[in-house]
Structure 1
Amino acid sequence: MSNLSQVYDIDLKLLRCFCTIVEEGSFKAAQATLNLSQSMLSEYLKSLETRLGVRLCQRGPKGFKLLPEGEVVYEAARDLFASVEVYRQRAASLGDGQGHELVIGIQDQIVDNPRAHVDEAISRFSDYYPNCRFRVEIMLGFQMTGRVADGLLHVGIGIQNEQFPQLAAERLFDEEAAIYAGRSHPLFAVPDAELTREAIENAVYCNRGHHEYVHPEKTRNAATRGDIGLGAHAQTTLVLSGRNIGYLPDHVAAPYVAQGRLRALRPDLTRMVSPVVAMTGASVKDFKFAQRFVDSLVDVHTEARVMSAARAPVPERAETPTAPTPPYRRRSSPAKRRTAAS
């Protein structure tokens, strides 16, 4: 890499193309993302290799393979672009959002959840910062979490992943899920009174691929390792087929349950409650628009929980007095926080 004594704009362009090829895993996939022809993409990669003085990857009939030198360049380029993004965020924080973009990633099944109020949070944030533009992408959970950790997303909204303890997380609401079986699966017709824990645990289990950390032992056991569904709807398709049982969010499974095509297996045993959070990485700690949007998310979802609790029927008075519930303290709005900080 001795040939690269100074970094120019063209070098940044070539590096971005190279990073896209690596992240997409092939030239063909990168073509669609970058809207470039394969010949142009190949020419860019050759130019980058010439500038660096090393070969970065193997490409040809056998596919794309990153070489060790390519791995070093890729990691260095990611660090470089993360630093550029931090600069952009800090510079943008000096103004009112004019011309700046807030990049949000949302896990694939979250928006469909009746407890989700992301649209209301976007609307509330826009009242305070109308000049800030949103870029929103729906993606798989493990992709979203990884991009937040890498600084490629300002805010991620999805199920909290304990494998990334370095990320800051603000709870928004809870997602409920259970293990479901499709109509053609042998366990579908077994009454709950006869359905044992052992029968459920020994059934072939559809897992979530890279995002699987709920039942890793099932994915390692050849007897219970089933298909892989990347995303809630992909997994639902596999469970509907009857080939596997698997965890599905209740709100995703509900329409199929109503049609008699899915059934929850012993929810008293398999019920799982997962917190859905707004997560941010260390790179956005000084980026006020990301922090203000998280504030809007927390405010809107907290208010929704309080209103839901207020509408809930009052339980009968217990014979034994219980401790009083602490009074609800509403977080200050983004506008009030902004005023207090100024």
Structure 2
Amino acid sequence: MSHISQIYDIDLKLLRCFCTIVEERSFTAAQAALNLSQSTLSENLKSLEIRLGTRLCRRGPKGFKLFREGEVVYKAAKELFASVEAFKQKASNINQNTVYELSIGIQDGIVENPSARLHDAIRRFSDYYPNVRFRMEVMLGFQLAGRVADGMLHVGIGLVNEHYAQLSYEHLFDEQGFMCCGHRHPLFAIPEEELTLEDIESAAYCSRGHLEYYHPERARRPDTCGDIGLGIQSQLALILSGRNIGYVLDHTAQPLIASGALRALRPDRVRIVNPITAMMGPAAADFKLARQFVDCLIDVHMELGQSRLLPRPDYVTSCGTVVDRDGVFRVLSTAKAPAFAGA
């Protein structure tokens, strides 16, 4: 690689484009994420490669491949961005009368959940710190923890499917979902008293891709592995098509069930419960405003009392179904959750 004696703003822009291409694993997905045309994105990558004096990745009909040089640049760029963000956070503690920016990432499907009190937390925080500007983004769950760990987000709010030692977690509330099928699916017409757990477990199952850390083994079995919906709305579209069954969050499913477009399959016996948490990385922990916002989140959700928590199943069977002491079959996140206060 060529020796770079000075880094300019344009270099940072080019590096951010390159990092997005690597993280999305394709030019098409990176175009959508950056809202850039293919020609502009290609020109940015070409300019960066010329600036560095080496090719970073392969793109074209054979697909995307990151070269060794690209891996080195990607890692160095992420470290650079994390250092810049850490500087901004530490500098922002100097004078509270300055306008600062707080970056928040929220997993899709959470904002509209009636148990989520995000709007109350934002209002309360704003009363304390009126000069803070929010930068909020709704994203897929599997993107959240990585962005927080890299220092690109001050706070992430969502489902925890893997725990990282460098992140801190605070339980906010539980979300609940039921196994559902669309009105075109064969199970839709089976009377409730005739529908068995075996019928449900043998049907093709629509997973949420990278969030399948907590789903049953049916998402990995060839006979029941159905489509993959990256994001709640994508998964819902596949379920409504009649191709698969899958878990749909309660607040999303209710109006569709009422309209006849969706059916909950044995809701008396099959459901899923996920803890929703606020997470911070090591850099954000030193950023007083990030900690204060998380405290506001905790406070407004704790005011809900035990209504924010749902009953916890006791153990998991070999097929991924969970059985309570009362004999009710449920499914719970199998991700190792921390011992949350009050949970």
What is the TM-score normalised by the length of structure 1? Answer: 0.82
- Hey, what's the Cα distance between the residues in 2 that align with 1:15 and 1:308? 42
Percent identity over the alignment is: 63
Name 1:81's counterpart in structure 2.
81
State whether structure 2 residue 15 is matched by structure 1 residue 11. no
CA shift, 1:36, in A, is: 5.6
Partner SS, residue 273 of structure 2? strand
Cα gap change, 1:192 to 1:165, in 2 (>3 Å): farther
- 1:252 alignment partner AA: T
CA shift, 1:275, in A, is: 1.1
Name 2:109's counterpart in structure 1.
109
State whether structure 2 residue 253 is matched by structure 1 residue 249. no
Name 1:195's counterpart in structure 2.
195
Name 1:93's counterpart in structure 2.
93
Name 1:172's counterpart in structure 2.
172
Q: How does 1:150-299 map to 2 (within 5 A)?
A: 150-164=150-164, 166-299=166-299
- Hey, what's the Cα distance between the residues in 1 that align with 2:132 and 2:155? 14
State whether structure 2 residue 298 is matched by structure 1 residue 301. no
- 2:77 alignment partner AA: A
Residues 310-334 of structure 1: CA deviation (Å, up to 9, x unaligned):
xxxxxxxxxxxxxxxxxxx99xxxx
State whether structure 2 residue 37 is matched by structure 1 residue 52. no
RMSD: 2.6
- Hey, what's the Cα distance between the residues in 2 that align with 1:34 and 1:184? 37
Residues 292-342 of structure 1: CA deviation (Å, up to 9, x unaligned):
100111111111337999xxxxxxxxxxxxxxxxxxx99xxxxxxxxxxxx
Name 2:118's counterpart in structure 1.
118
Structure 2: 5+ residue stretches without partners: 310-340
Partner SS, residue 114 of structure 2? coil
State whether structure 2 residue 26 is matched by structure 1 residue 65. no
Q: Is the 8 A contact 2:174 2:275 kept in 1?
A: yes
- Hey, what's the Cα distance between the residues in 2 that align with 1:4 and 1:279? 36
Give the structure with higher Rg (CA): 1
CA shift, 1:186, in A, is: 1.9
Structure 1: 5+ residue stretches without partners: 310-328, 331-342
Name 2:322's counterpart in structure 1.
none
Residues 242-279 of structure 1: CA deviation (Å, up to 9, x unaligned):
11110111111000111122221122332221111111
Q: Is the 8 A contact 2:115 2:308 kept in 1?
A: no
More displaced stretch, 124-133 vs 61-70: 61-70
Partner SS, residue 269 of structure 1? coil
Q: Kindly indicate which of the two structures has a greater share of residues assigned to helix.
A: 1
CA shift, 1:42, in A, is: 4.1
Q: Is the 8 A contact 1:182 1:261 kept in 2?
A: yes
State whether structure 2 residue 136 is matched by structure 1 residue 148. no
- 2:214 alignment partner AA: V
Cα gap change, 1:227 to 1:163, in 2 (>3 Å): farther
Partner SS, residue 184 of structure 2? coil
Q: Is the 8 A contact 2:174 2:308 kept in 1?
A: no
CA shift, 1:5, in A, is: 4.4
CA shift, 1:289, in A, is: 0.9
Partner SS, residue 134 of structure 1? strand
What is the TM-score normalised by the length of structure 2? Answer: 0.82
Q: Is the 8 A contact 2:106 2:137 kept in 1?
A: yes
Cα gap change, 1:221 to 1:154, in 2 (>3 Å): same
- Hey, what's the Cα distance between the residues in 2 that align with 1:49 and 1:196? 59
Q: Is the 8 A contact 2:159 2:277 kept in 1?
A: yes
Number of residue pairs matched by the alignment: 311
- Hey, what's the Cα distance between the residues in 1 that align with 2:236 and 2:29? 26
- Hey, what's the Cα distance between the residues in 1 that align with 2:97 and 2:134? 11
- Hey, what's the Cα distance between the residues in 2 that align with 1:164 and 1:81? 20
- 1:264 alignment partner AA: A
- Hey, what's the Cα distance between the residues in 2 that align with 1:172 and 1:87? 29
- Hey, what's the Cα distance between the residues in 2 that align with 1:38 and 1:28? 7
CA shift, 1:236, in A, is: 1.6
Name 1:316's counterpart in structure 2.
none
- Hey, what's the Cα distance between the residues in 2 that align with 1:16 and 1:261? 42
Cα gap change, 1:183 to 1:39, in 2 (>3 Å): closer
Cα gap change, 1:264 to 1:39, in 2 (>3 Å): closer
- 2:115 alignment partner AA: R
- Hey, what's the Cα distance between the residues in 2 that align with 1:198 and 1:34? 45
- Hey, what's the Cα distance between the residues in 2 that align with 1:198 and 1:39? 52
